[in-house]
Structure 1
Amino acid sequence: MAKLTTGEVIAKSLTANGVDTVFGIPGAHMYDFNDALAREEGIRFIHTRHEQGAAYMAYGYARTSNKAGVYTVVPGPGLLNSGAALCTAYGANAPVMCITGNIMSHLIGQGRGQLHELPDHLGTLKGLTKWADRINHPTEAGETMAEAFRQMNSQRRGPVGIEAPWDVFGMSAEVSDPVKTTALPPPTPDPESIAAAAELIAAAKNPMIMVGGGAWGATAEVGELARLLQAPVTAHRQGKGVMPEDDDLALLPPAAWKFWPECDLLIGIGSRLELQHFRWRWFPEGIKTLRIDIDPTEFVRLKPDQGVVADAAQGTRALIEALKGKIDPPADRSAEYRALSKAASEALTSVQPQQGYLEVIRDVLPRDGFFVEEVSQVGFTARMCFEVYEPGQYVTCAYQDNLGFGFNTALGVKVANPDKAVISISGDGGFMFGVQELATAKQHGINVVAVVFNNSAYGNVRRDQQTVYDSRLIGADLENPDFVALAESFGVKGIKATDPAELRAALEEALAANAPVVIEVPVERGSDGSPWPFIHPAPPSQ
C-alpha cells in the first residue's frame, strides 16, 4: 500500500499495462494528472496543436502497434474536439483510451455553467466508446483503470473512456500499486457450429473468403483455409493484407467482383461484409453465407446461414481441422485468379490520375511500410488497386470516412513504428483539417511523408453536385494556400510534383531525408476519374 493521488494511480496503471506514449494537450482540469504523467518514468508525452490531432494519433498508434493508444484532453470542448477520432476507433475496433476530466465533483449535474461543463459529460463519453466510467475517489482508480483495459482489449476491442472530476485527480489515499490487466479469453468455438460450417463448405463449389479487421491475428489460418479450398480471398479496407495481396489466391475487390457471379458460398472472417452487402448490393441466386466473428451481435445484424462465434484464428483453425477428410483436394485455381486480377488491373488504369500516382507510391513504399489513406479521390481508388502485404499496413478510417483523418493518424503510426516508412495521402480539403499538426511533426521529429493531392475542391461533393444536381455547386470549390510554402513556414520540407515521374523522385527524396515532408501534387479541378464504378459496380445483368 502507498499513498497515491488519483492522477498517480492512473499514470501507474498505464505503465503497468505497457503504455509508454500518451498524446494530448494539458489543461486546467487535468493539471494534477498531467503532473503525475510528467513524474512517471518511461512515459513519453507528445503534445499536439488540436485535440482532434491527439486522438487521431492515438488511433494510428493503436492500429499499428497492437498496444493501447492513449490520449488525454480537457473535458467539454476538448472531449468533443476529439470525438471524430473516437467514432473512428469505435468503427475500426481499435484499442484507444481517452482520459479526460470533469467539473468539480460537487457541481456535477447542477447546471451552474462551470468551465467546460456539459449537461451529461459521462453520458457523452459513453456514447462515443465501447465502455466508459468515472473515477470518484483514488480508492476507485485502480479497479476502474483495470476494467477500462479489460473492456478495451476483450472480445471485440474498442475505445474506452475514463473521466475524473477536477478535484479528484489530486486527491490522495492509501491504495495498492496497479498491476497489469488480463483480457477476457475469447469464446471457444462451438463444435456443433463448426461441424455445420464444415458441411456448408463441403457442399460448395466456388467459395469466396472475405476478411476484415477481425482477422488480423489469423493470417496463417486464412491462408491455409484458402489453399485447402482453392478459394479466393478478398478485403475492402480493414482486412487488406491479411492475405498478402500479391498472393495468387488474393483478389482485390474489382477482381473479386468478376468472380462473384459464380460464388455459391461467402465465408466472412472477422468482417462486417460491407463490400458485399453495402457496396456490391447484389447476391448470386442461392448463395450461402458462413460467418466467423467474435461478436455474436453480428449474426443478428446480418444473419448468416451458419455462424461461428469465435476468435478468427481459433474459429478458422477449428474449421480447417473439421474439413480434414471431408473434402477432396481441389484443383489449383491460381491461374484463373491471376487472370481475373490482370483484367481488373488493366481496367483500373482508366481511373486517372489516381491510379498512376498510386502505382508510383506502391513502387516506392518499402514492402513493410505503412500507407495511410484518407477520404479523397485517391483514397477511394486505393481501396481498389493498392496492394498490401501484411495486416495493419493499410491504415483506414473504417466506415466513418472522415476528413482530417489521414495526416494526423499517420503521425501516430510513425510514433509507433519509428523505423518504418509512413506515407499519408490526403486531398487538399482533408489535409487542411489537421495542417496545424505539421508543428507537432516538426517539434517531436515525427517523420511522416504527407502527399497532398490538390484539386482545389471537395472533389466527391463537386462531382455529385455536377452529375446529380445539374451542376448547382455549393461549398465545393476551394481556394488553397501554396502547400509547399505552407510546409516551409512550419520548418518542414515541401516539394511539388506535377506528374507520376516527379512524384516518384519526390517520394524517394522524402523517404531518404528521414524528416517530415509535404509533397503537393496539383490536380486540375474536376479532372479526377471516378472510382465509383469499381466500388459500386452494376449487377452483371445490367
Structure 2
Amino acid sequence: MNTKIEELVAKQKPIQSTYTTSTAFLEALQEAGVSYIFANLGSDHPAIIESLAQAQQDNKKLPKLIICPHEMVAMSAAHGYAQLTGETQAVIVHVECGTQNIGGAIHNAFKGRIPVLVFAGASPYTQENELTGSRNEFIHWIQDVFDQRGIMRGYSKYDNEIRSGKNVKQLVHRAIQFAKSDPPGPVYLMGPREAMEEATEPVTINTDLWKPISPTAIPPKHIKLLVEDLVKAENPLIVTSYLGRNPDAVKELVQLSKRLAIPVIESVSKAMNFPADNPMHWGHQWNTAGQNELLAKADLVLVLDSDVPWIPMKNKPSDKATVYYIDIDPLKEEMPLWYIPSKHFFKADAKVALEQINHCLDSTSLVDKKTIEKRWKTNSEIHARLREEKLLLETINENVITPEYLTACVREIIDEDTIVLNEGISNYQTICTHIGTKNPGTLHGSGAGSLGWNGGAAIGMKLANPDKTVVSLTGDGSYLFSIPSVVHWMAKRYETPFLTVIYNNSGWKSPKLSTLGVHPNGIANQMDQFHVNFDPPADLAKIAEAAGNAYAQTVKKPSELKMALRKAMKAVKEGRSAVVDVYIPNV
C-alpha cells in the first residue's frame, strides 16, 4: 500500500508557486550577501515559508534558515556572525510580539554597531478574504497594533514597511546599505500578510549601485596638526575600545605605537584592539575604582573608537592633557548625556585615520629617534611590571578558584586563533586582562549592556568560522539570560559546538558593586542584603546537557579545574558542545 502511494506521489507534477513579494524579498537577501536567516516563524509568515519550500524544490540558492526557538538567541546569533564577518545577517520574527522579544538583543546590536536586518510580519489588514492572506485566526486581531515600527525606532538606523512586491528589493538593498554604512547598525522592515503574498514580477537589481557609504577620513589640513602634536608630546597615550572590529586597523595601530613608542590602554574592550604581549600594551580598564595613574600622566591622549574611554568622576586624564577624538560616531548621537572636551573631534574610520597618520609620519622630519628610544624603554618597563602583577594574581589558591586563576587556566587550553567571547560582566576586566589575546578578531564583547548575548553569539561566530574553536566566558547571570536550553538545542542541531565556561559567583555581583559604588557605607552593606544571590543554586551545566547533549561538568575545587577544562575542550574538538560551571567566590 505504501509503495503504491509513493508511486502516485512520484508521478505528481511539482506544484508551481506564484512569484510573490516574499520570493523577491528572499532573493534580495541572497543578492545582498546574507548567508543566514535566523528565524522564529509565526502566523504572519506563510508566504515566506511557501517561497522557501519552492526554492528548495527548484534547487534555488537562498540564505540558509536557522530555526531559533527564542528571538533573543536569533538576534544574538545574527549579531555574532555579523560581528565577526562584517556581513549583514537577517532575523525573521513574529509580528510585534517577536519584535518585542528581541528587545535586549536589538539594544546590543544597536549600541554595539552591528549590521543586522530584522524582518517582522504584521497582522493582515483585511478580514473578509478580500486578498490572499486575509485574517483567518483570532490572533490577527489581538496582534494588530498602531505603531509596530515604533517599537524599534529608538534601536534601528532605518525602518520601513513593505507595501508591494514591485519595489521590495529596493527596500531591502536600501535597508542593508544603511546597516553597513558607518556607524553600522540594525535595520527593520515589516510586511503584512497580504503584501507578502502579493503576486509580482521579478526585478533585476544591480547590487554594485547599493554599496555602503565609503569610510570617512580626517580632513587633510588637520592631519599635519595632529601629527605635530603627537610628535611634540612627552607622554602620549592611546585609548581604544572597539578599533579591533576591523582587524586591519589593529595593524595600523601597532605600527603607529611602535614608531612613536606610544602605549595603548584598552577601555571596556569590545574587541582585540592591541596585542597583549606588545611592550606598549598598558592593560585594560573597566569600571576602574580609582585613578589610573598612567592615564593621569599623559600629556596627549588620542582616543580611537571608544564610547567610554574613562569615567570622569573617578578616572580621567589631567586637565592639562590635550585630547584628540577619532571615532565613527564622535558625537555619540544616540547618547543623550555624553561629553569629553577635546581639541578636535574627527568623524573618521579608525583604519583610514591611522593610515593617514602613518603616511604623514613617513614624510616628517620632526621625530627625535633618541626620545623615541628612551620612551620605548620606559614604557616597556611599565608593561613588564604590569605583566608581573598580573601573573602574581594567577597563582593557584588551594581553597577557592579565583577569576584570575580560572582565566589563566582557560588561556592554557586555547590557541592563538581561538575566538573568545567575554560576557563576564563583574569579571569583564579580569577576563580581558588575563586571557591575553594577541591576534585580531579573537576577543569579542557584545558592545552593549543587555545580558545574554554570549550563547547565540557563539553559535553565530561558529557558523562564520566553522574551523575555529569558540569559547564563551560568561557569568552565571549572563548564562541564564542567554536562554541556554535554546542555545544548546540549536548548537546540537546545527553542529556548532563551542565551550562555555561559567564564572559562577552564585548571583548578580554587578548590582552589588553598583550599590557599593554609590553607598559604600550604606544599610545594604551593613546588613549584607543586596537581593542578588541565586540560592539555592541551579545545576547550570545540566541545562545544556539536557537540551543539547552537551558535555557538562561542575567544578568547585582548584585541583579539579585544569582536568575539567581539558576534558571539555576535547569534547568540543570532537564535535560536542561543553559547559564547565566553575564556582568562584560568592557575591
Same fold per TM (> 0.5)?
yes
Aligned length: 519
1:356 aligned residue: 405
Moved more, 339-348 or 306-315: 339-348
Give the one of 325, 331, 343 matched to 1:291. Answer: 325
Q: How far did residue 211 of structure 1 move?
A: 2.3
Give the one of 266, 277, 280 matched to 2:301. Answer: 266
**Correspondence 1:194 to 2:223:** yes
Moved more, 201-210 or 305-314: 305-314
Tell me, in whole angstroms, the C-alpha distance in 1 between the residues paired with 2:243 and 2:51.
Answer: 35
Moved more, 206-215 or 357-366: 206-215
SS at match of 2:194: coil
Query: Counterpart of 2:61 in structure 1: which amino acid?
Result: E
Measured at CA, do residues 390 and 133 of structure 1 come closer, stay the same or move farther in structure 2, by a change above 3 Å? farther
2:239 aligned residue: 210
Tell me, in whole angstroms, the C-alpha distance in 2 between the residues paired with 1:301 and 1:13.
Answer: 40
SS at match of 1:227: helix
Tell me, in whole angstroms, the C-alpha distance in 2 between the residues paired with 1:498 and 1:339.
Answer: 37
Q: How far did residue 355 of structure 1 move?
A: 0.5
1:473 aligned residue: 529
Moved more, 307-316 or 130-139: 307-316
Q: 1:24 touches 1:71 (CA, 8 Å); kept in 2?
A: yes
Q: How far did residue 43 of structure 1 move?
A: 2.2
Measured at CA, do residues 279 and 337 of structure 1 come closer, stay the same or move farther in structure 2, by a change above 3 Å? farther
Q: How far did residue 284 of structure 1 move?
A: 1.4
**Correspondence 1:320 to 2:370:** no
1:442-481 map, 5 Å: 442-462=492-512, 468=522, 469=524, 470-471=526-527, 473=529, 475-478=531-534, 479-481=536-538
Q: 1:12 touches 1:178 (CA, 8 Å); kept in 2?
A: no
Tell me, in whole angstroms, the C-alpha distance in 2 between the residues paired with 1:518 and 1:296.
Answer: 39
Q: Which has the larger radius of gyration?
A: 2
Measured at CA, do residues 187 and 51 of structure 1 come closer, stay the same or move farther in structure 2, by a change above 3 Å? same
Query: Counterpart of 1:218 in structure 2: which amino acid?
Result: A
Query: Counterpart of 1:192 in structure 2: which amino acid?
Result: K
1:34 aligned residue: 49
SS at match of 2:254: helix
Q: How far did residue 84 of structure 1 move?
A: 0.9
Query: Counterpart of 1:325 in structure 2: which amino acid?
Result: S
Give the one of 81, 91, 112 matched to 1:92. Answer: 112
Measured at CA, do residues 465 and 223 of structure 1 come closer, stay the same or move farther in structure 2, by a change above 3 Å? closer
Q: What does the per-residue CA deviation read over 1:421-456, in whole Å, with 9 as the maximum and x for residues that have no partner?
A: 111122222212212222111222220111123332
Tell me, in whole angstroms, the C-alpha distance in 2 between the residues paired with 1:186 and 1:463.
Answer: 39
1:55-454 map, 5 Å: 55-105=75-125, 114-180=141-207, 181-214=210-243, 216=246, 217-238=248-269, 240-253=271-284, 257-272=292-307, 274-277=308-311, 281-295=315-329, 297-298=331-332, 301-323=339-361, 324-329=364-369, 330-331=372-373, 333-348=375-390, 349-350=392-393, 353-400=402-449, 402-433=450-481, 434-436=483-485, 437-454=487-504
SS at match of 1:143: helix
Tell me, in whole angstroms, the C-alpha distance in 2 between the residues paired with 1:57 and 1:200.
Answer: 43
Query: Counterpart of 2:533 in structure 1: which amino acid?
Result: D
SS at match of 1:139: coil
Q: 2:96 touches 2:120 (CA, 8 Å); kept in 1?
A: no
The runs of 5 or more residues in structure 2 that have no matched partner are 1-16, 128-138, 395-400
1:504 aligned residue: 562
Q: 1:91 touches 1:398 (CA, 8 Å); kept in 2?
A: yes
User: Could you state the TM-score of these two structures normalised by the residue count of structure 2?
Assistant: 0.82
Q: How far did residue 477 of structure 1 move?
A: 1.7
Measured at CA, do residues 206 and 171 of structure 1 come closer, stay the same or move farther in structure 2, by a change above 3 Å? same
**Correspondence 1:6 to 2:21:** yes
Q: 2:292 touches 2:315 (CA, 8 Å); kept in 1?
A: no
Q: 1:407 touches 1:425 (CA, 8 Å); kept in 2?
A: no
Q: 2:39 touches 2:91 (CA, 8 Å); kept in 1?
A: yes
Q: What does the per-residue CA deviation read over 1:124-143, in whole Å, with 9 as the maximum and x for residues that have no partner?
A: 12221121211111112111
Q: 1:241 touches 1:388 (CA, 8 Å); kept in 2?
A: yes
Measured at CA, do residues 279 and 28 of structure 1 come closer, stay the same or move farther in structure 2, by a change above 3 Å? farther
SS at match of 2:319: coil
Q: 2:279 touches 2:384 (CA, 8 Å); kept in 1?
A: no
User: Could you state the TM-score of these two structures normalised by the residue count of structure 1?
Assistant: 0.88
Query: Counterpart of 1:223 in structure 2: which amino acid?
Result: V
Moved more, 152-161 or 279-288: 279-288
Tell me, in whole angstroms, the C-alpha distance in 2 between the residues paired with 1:387 and 1:368.
Answer: 12
Q: How far did residue 347 of structure 1 move?
A: 4.1
Q: How far did residue 267 of structure 1 move?
A: 0.7
The runs of 5 or more residues in structure 1 that have no matched partner are 527-542
Q: 1:456 touches 1:477 (CA, 8 Å); kept in 2?
A: yes
Q: 1:252 touches 1:385 (CA, 8 Å); kept in 2?
A: no
Q: 1:451 touches 1:521 (CA, 8 Å); kept in 2?
A: yes
Query: Counterpart of 1:407 in structure 2: which amino acid?
Result: G
Tell me, in whole angstroms, the C-alpha distance in 2 between the residues paired with 1:42 and 1:135.
Answer: 20
Tell me, in whole angstroms, the C-alpha distance in 1 between the residues paired with 2:270 and 2:424.
Answer: 17
1:531 aligned residue: none
Query: Counterpart of 2:197 in structure 1: which amino acid?
Result: G
Q: 2:30 touches 2:62 (CA, 8 Å); kept in 1?
A: yes
Query: Counterpart of 1:453 in structure 2: which amino acid?
Result: Y
Q: What does the per-residue CA deviation read over 1:307-362, in whole Å, with 9 as the maximum and x for residues that have no partner?
A: 33322122121122223223223215444334323433454555971111011112
Moved more, 338-347 or 65-74: 338-347
Measured at CA, do residues 506 and 286 of structure 1 come closer, stay the same or move farther in structure 2, by a change above 3 Å? same
What RMSD, in angstroms, separates the aligned Cα atoms of the two structures? Answer: 2.7
Tell me, in whole angstroms, the C-alpha distance in 2 between the residues paired with 1:442 and 1:451.
Answer: 18
Query: Counterpart of 1:269 in structure 2: which amino acid?
Result: L
SS at match of 2:145: coil
Q: What does the per-residue CA deviation read over 1:27-66, in whole Å, with 9 as the maximum and x for residues that have no partner?
A: 1112212333452524221112211110011111111122
Q: 2:403 touches 2:503 (CA, 8 Å); kept in 1?
A: no
- Give the fraction of aligned pairs with identical amino acids, expressed as a percent: 21
Q: 2:270 touches 2:444 (CA, 8 Å); kept in 1?
A: no
SS at match of 1:251: strand
Q: 1:3 touches 1:174 (CA, 8 Å); kept in 2?
A: no
Query: Counterpart of 2:581 in structure 1: which amino acid?
Result: E
